[in-house]
Amino acid sequence: MAIELMELPYEQNALEPIISKETIEYHYGKHHKNYVDTANRLLKDSNFDDDALLIDIIKNSDGALFNNAAQVFNHNFYWLSLNPEPIAIPPKLNKLINRDFGSMENFKNEFEDKALSLFGSGWVWLELDVKEKLIITQRGNADNPLIHLHTPLLTIDVWEHAYYIDYRNDRKKYFEELWRLIDWKFVASNIVDYYHDLTEPCMENSQLCDYIDMLQHLNEPTT
């Protein structure tokens, strides 16, 4: 099965004025699509079966195929991390952030520092590491948490094509504005997915399972 260009979960003008329709047309319609098309072309000359999953291709490839397949995944995750409607942080996710970063302010400041200090092109991720701790990472080019055995929860694209039309070289302004679009329920749902994918119980003395059990009630009031 060919890798498909995901359908955006909102209209191309839905993120305005923070992300313009013009940016979406180039970022999604050209850059993202080119990664999909290139990955499919490279797959034809690879050893992967026609029904290989995107995640499996990423974990078991290198070179150009990895770069393009990983960029498909990274962009998919980026679009899903955003929501045109304000999404408050679920209270239990907020507690988990406080546990690992001390406060929401510390968390945001570290995310911003990582976004602004990443040299060149790449991504800043919120991940669940192998010790079941929330961490923020800088990953250059097409790198992503999957190949490090981490669970991706949230990503911000800091390639210049993600923000140059709207913010020119002002990555800080882009980050500050984009923060208003984060879909925190999507972030929480990725922790729940981690729980469902476990083959062993959460680590001994870990508080994560308690949080996950509560996060599964995603329809709880978030104000």
Residue with tokens 């923000």: 163
The pLDDT, as a whole number, for residue 193 is 78
Q: Helix H segments across the chain?
A: 21-26, 33-43, 54-59, 63-80, 91-101, 104-117, 164-167, 171-178, 184-197, 208-215
For residue 9, cis peptide bond before it (omega within 30 degrees of 0): no
pLDDT digits (tens, 9 = 90+) for 97-147: 999 999 999 999 999 999 999 999 999 999 999 899 999 999 999 999 999
Length of the chain: 223
Distance CA(37)–CA(197), nearest Å, equals: 30
Say whether 132 sits in a helix, a strand or coil.
Answer: coil
Whether residue 83 contacts residue 34, with contact meaning beta carbons closer than 8 Å, is answered with no
The pLDDT, as a whole number, for residue 50 is 84
What b/e string do you get for 47-61 counting C-beta neighbours within 10 Å, with b at 16 or more? ebeeebebeebbeeb
Which residues in the chain belong to E strands, given as ranges?
A: 122-128, 134-140, 151-157
Instruction: At 45, give phi and psi (nearest 5°).
Output: -105, 20
The pLDDT, as a whole number, for residue 148 is 96
The pLDDT, as a whole number, for residue 51 is 87
The pLDDT, as a whole number, for residue 2 is 82
Dihedral sign from CA coordinates of 26, 126, 138, 199: negative
Instruction: Show the low-confidence residues of the chain (pLDDT under 50).
Output: 205, 216-223
Nearest to 87 by CA among 154, 186, 155, 153: 186
Residue with tokens 């990953």: 139
Domains and CATH numbers, the chain: 21-80 (1.10.287.990), 91-215 (3.55.40.20)
| Cα 169 from chain centroid (whole Å) | 22
The pLDDT, as a whole number, for residue 120 is 95
Nearest to 83 by CA among 174, 222, 185: 185
The pLDDT, as a whole number, for residue 157 is 98
Distance CA(105)–CA(22), nearest Å, equals: 32
The pLDDT, as a whole number, for residue 205 is 47
Say whether 7 sits in a helix, a strand or coil.
Answer: coil
Number of H helices, E strands in the chain: 10, 3
Q: What is the DSSP letter of 142?
A: T
